[in-house]
Amino acid sequence: MAARGRSRRFRLPYLAPYDFKALLEFFARRAIPGVEQVDADSYFRRFAIDGMSGSLRVSHIADGDALALAVEFPDMAYLSDIRARVRRMFDLDADMATIHARLGRKAPLRALVRRHPGQRLPGGWDGFEIAVRAVLGQQISVAAARTLAARLVQRFGTETRTARGETFHLFPAPPDLAEADLGTIGVTRARAQTLRGLAQALCEGRVDFRPDQDLEQFVQSWVQLPGIGPWTAHYIAMRALSHADAFPAADLVLRKAVSRDGLPVSPGQLQRMAETWRPWRAYAVLHLWRSSS
């Protein structure tokens, strides 16, 4: 697969406040070497659509409430799709005033919303990539999951070439992993079975990433897959669908973050507390994670 470069630049407006730095920090901790690159000012990634490869860079426009998107891709007919993906990935259409009015009603979120009023929901470029990385990250650190993802790309990703002649590997597609020997990258046998199972489910159409689907139906379909529990399904919904109400209630960090005595509350207690945050519970997740880092 090769890329012939055609470049375009776009201005992507948003409604302030917007914490671009926080998004860059989130993406930087998870960036896969060779696929993504994050520096102090921008996010860069390589991607493929319909067998054609390209790259994009997102940075902030200093003199306006907007991001700058630079795209290099051989077919300009795909630009509207690329822009839409980036808008969702960087959560550019959120109405923060409405979200804060709900989340900031009482503790523990009132102070967090005031401290970080521009906190956005970090989405993902590709649903399958987010799902695979969610499984790789089960019960291990972010850094360890990133290492596994890098091995996965090098072992099973399609090699392609930039317009400048540089070679790199794309993140694997579902058919690449449906029958893959994933033990070679260092995951457990159970984790390998989960990854193959979700790849096969996507190939067969048993699950998908349509952004308009109901959250509960999405979660219910995903937890039918071996190795996928509610936490993973909600995390995938939050990042792959950018679902604003996704809420992984079993998350230990969240349960500790709302505790008053240092002991984590139960998932059920957290669920009941979070009812007042609907339909913006995913933003509460980001605030609470951020307060605990």
Print the SS3 string covering 121-162.
CCCCCCHHHHHHHHHHCCCCCHHHHHHHHHHHHHHHCCEEEC
Please check whether residue 133 lies inside any domain of the structure: yes
φ/ψ of 14, rounded to 5, equals: -145, 170
pTM for this structure? 0.94
Residue pLDDT tens, the chain, 293 long: 544 558 999 999 999 999 999 999 999 999 999 999 999 999 999 999 998 999 999 999 988 899 999 999 999 999 999 999 999 999 999 999 999 999 999 889 999 999 999 999 999 999 999 999 999 999 899 999 999 999 999 999 999 887 677 788 999 999 999 999 999 999 999 999 999 999 999 999 999 999 889 999 999 999 999 999 999 999 999 999 999 999 999 999 999 999 988 899 999 999 999 999 999 999 999 999 999 98
Which residues, in sequence order, are CB contacts of 185 under 8 Å at separation 6+? 148, 151, 152, 155
For the chain, the 3-state helix, strand and coil shares in percent, each to the nearest 5, are: 45, 15, 40
State whether 82 and 185 are in the same domain: no
Total domains, the chain: 3
> Do residue 133 and residue 225 come from a single domain?
yes
Give the domain extent around 183. 127-240
Say how many C-beta atoms besides its own lie within 10 A of residue 95's C-beta: 9
Residues present in the chain in total: 293
CB 142 within 8 A of CB 115: no
Considering the domain boundaries, does residue 2 fall inside one? Answer: no
Asked if residue 276 is part of any domain, the answer here is: yes
